[in-house]
Amino acid sequence: MEKTILKQFGPSVFKTSIPEVLIQKLNDYVDLIVKNEEKSVKLDFGKSLAGNVKQEFKLEVDFMKSSGWGSHLMKESSEWIFKSTEDKLNNKVGKKITKFQMIESWIVRQFENEYNPAHYHHGHISGVGYLKVPDDLGKTFQKNKQNSNGHLQLLHGSKQFLSNPVLDIKPKVGDFYFFPAYLTHTVYPFINKTQERRSISFNAYIDDSIFYG
């Protein structure tokens, strides 16, 4: 007898990766912006974001095009949507997006004791990935407790039978996660006095017919 677990309910989250060559381009770009005080001020995005962190700034449109970052997000978004709408059980082909409109993409530089409170984004789809992660995120103050230092948590609904409302994600350089922009999420502080946790995020619109379909 064929046995299948159907995971039909709740939002789709897509885990993928950032190519190493693109990670290098992004980190080099960030390092240049950090050294350029005038550009850092011009691109500052912290006032529009929820995070209580050292620095948050937008990526320039020209850089997103020349580096391939924008096209990478569009390609991965297309794969996510196609796979999430595909129904092999009923022989239904996945939906293909015809629209990918970037709203913005930005960098979050997080250091010890900084955090991002529970919040959500605007647009249709969002995502976050990791460019730098401390070697050690610190220990818990009590033994035998789950260590979520520096972790991302995606939150949806409440506890139900065989359904956990929290997806806990330990950051790893190169990992990238796509999710609906409305999905509430938070990032916990970590303990490391010298190293930076550097992430990159985006918001975008796709076809209304697919998002609301």
Over pLDDT 90: what percentage of the chain? 91
pLDDT in tens, 12-60: 999 999 999 999 999 999 999 999 999 999 999 999 999 999 999 999 9
How far is CA 38 from each of CA 32, 34, 35, 55, rounded to the nearest angstrom?
11, 10, 9, 14
Q: Report helix, strand and coil shares of the chain as percent, to nearest 5.
A: 25, 30, 45
Higher pLDDT, 86 or 3: 86
Taking the alpha carbons at both ends of the chain, their separation in whole angstroms is: 34
pTM of the model: 0.96
Domains, in order of start, for the chain: 14-211 (2.60.120.620)
pLDDT in tens, 158-198: 999 988 999 999 999 999 999 999 999 999 999 999 999 99
**Does the pLDDT of residue 6 top 80, yes or no?**
no
**Does the pLDDT of residue 114 top 80, yes or no?**
yes
Mean pLDDT for all residues in the chain: 95
pLDDT at position 83 = 94
For residue 154, name the pLDDT band (cuts at 50, 70, 90).
very high
